[in-house]
Structure formats: structure tokens, C-alpha cells
């Protein structure tokens, strides 16, 4: 959470929908979005690890953020996407139901995640923004997601 607040001010956010809720992530972490493609399931991994894909010769883990946040799994419809993020030479992808518009928002207006949010989810949320139309935008802290204890088991043998 601290990393995003240190750069409070107008920030470009890649926004996406998951289970009817809008999320955003700093565009500096987002490298590309892909149309949905086959994902190879990996045995003996948590349900929120959707599997892996081969992306131009590199193996990239794909997370189902819906399951990660204790919601329903991401949909696999024609609008669904895989967002590829990068942090400190590591990449991962996450599923979303659909992409939304790019937003420029002032992160100084971030409110903390609600106290009712489970701890694992709260640890990777920078906070909430109330948009002009009254809807909430859940801002992810992708650096915290990469550093999360949930992903620690998948760091061994990682290549950049």
C-alpha cells in the first residue's frame, strides 16, 4: 500500500472488471493484455492459480483474482482478458472479466480498504477511490501482490 501512496497524485490506472466490480492497477506495472487463451492447469497448486501460459517462450503464472479475493472465478467469455504485469524482472498474469477505460486518478484521494476485507486481499489493495459517478474503484498494489506470501512458493527457479 505504501508504494502507491508515495506517488500520490494523478496516476494512470489500467481498469478492469471482475464480478461486476471495477479494479485498477498502476499502468507502470501493466505490460499488455491478451485475449483469453488456453491455460495449462498445474497440479497441487491453490485454486486461485489458474495455471500457466507460454508467452513468447517464457512460462507465466496466471492468477484468477476472483478466487484470490474470495469471489467467484473470473468469467471466460469473449470479453475476458489476461493482464500481464511485471515487477522487478518478474511477470505474472491475472484474469479479468473485461477491460474498462484507462483512468487518470489522484491517488491522494485513496481511502483504506474496508476493515471487513480479508487480510490477504487487504494486503494487496492500495485502497478505494470513490469515482464521480459514486462507484468504487478498487486500486490494487501490484508490487504488494508480487511480494505477497501467497506467491512466495512460486518464486523458486523463477527467470526474468
pTM: 0.85
pLDDT > 90: percent of the chain:
53
Cβ neighbours of residue 142 closer than 8 Å, sequence gap 6 or more: 25, 26, 29, 30, 85, 87, 124
- Grade residue 155 by pLDDT with cuts at 50, 70 and 90: low
Each residue of 122-144: pLDDT tens digit? 889 999 999 888 899 999 999 99
Which residues span the domain enclosing 36?
2-152
Q: Is residue 47 part of a domain?
A: yes
Residue predicted with more confidence, 3 or 14:
14
Strands (E), 6-145: 10-18, 21-26, 30-35, 49-55, 58-64, 81-87, 90-96, 98-99, 103-106, 125-130, 136-140
Q: Is residue 157 part of a domain?
A: no
Per-residue pLDDT at 111 exceeds 50: yes
Q: Is residue 142 part of a domain?
A: yes
Q: With the CA atoms of 60, 64, 70 and 75 taken in that order, what torsion angle do they form, in degrees rounded to the nearest 10?
A: 180
Q: Is residue 122 part of a domain?
A: yes
Q: Is residue 159 part of a domain?
A: no
Can you give the CATH number for the domain in which 74 is found?
A: 2.40.50.180
Q: Is residue 131 part of a domain?
A: yes
- Poorest-confidence range of 26-30, 89-93, 98-102, 149-153? 149-153
Q: Is residue 160 part of a domain?
A: no
Q: How many domains, the chain?
A: 1
Amino acid at each position: 500500500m505504501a508504494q502507491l501512496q508515495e506517488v500520490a497524485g494523478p496516476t494512470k490506472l489500467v481498469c478492469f472488471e471482475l464480478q461486476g466490480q471495477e479494479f485498477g492497477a498502476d499502468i507502470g506495472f501493466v505490460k499488455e493484455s491478451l485475449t483469453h487463451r488456453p491455460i495449462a492447469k498445474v497440479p497441487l497448486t491453490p485454486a486461485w492459480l489458474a495455471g500457466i501460459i507460454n508467452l513468447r517462450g517464457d512460462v507465466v503464472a496466471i492468477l484468477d483474482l476472483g478466487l484470490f479475493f474470495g469471489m467467484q472465478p473470473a468469467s471466460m467469455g469473449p470479453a475476458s482478458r489476461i493482464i500481464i504485469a511485471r515487477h522487478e524482472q518478474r511477470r505474472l498474469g491475472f484474469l479479468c472479466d473485461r477491460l474498462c477505460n484507462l483512468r487518470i486518478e489522484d491517488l491522494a484521494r485513496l481511502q483504506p480498504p474496508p476493515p471487513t476485507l480479508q487480510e490477504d486481499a487487504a494486503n494487496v489493495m492500495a485502497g478505494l477511490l470513490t469515482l464521480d459517478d459514486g462507484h468504487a474503484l478498487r486500486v490494487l498494489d501490484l508490487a504488494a501482490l508480487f511480494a505477497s506470501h501467497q506467491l512466495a512458493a512460486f518464486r523458486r527457479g523463477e527467470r526474468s
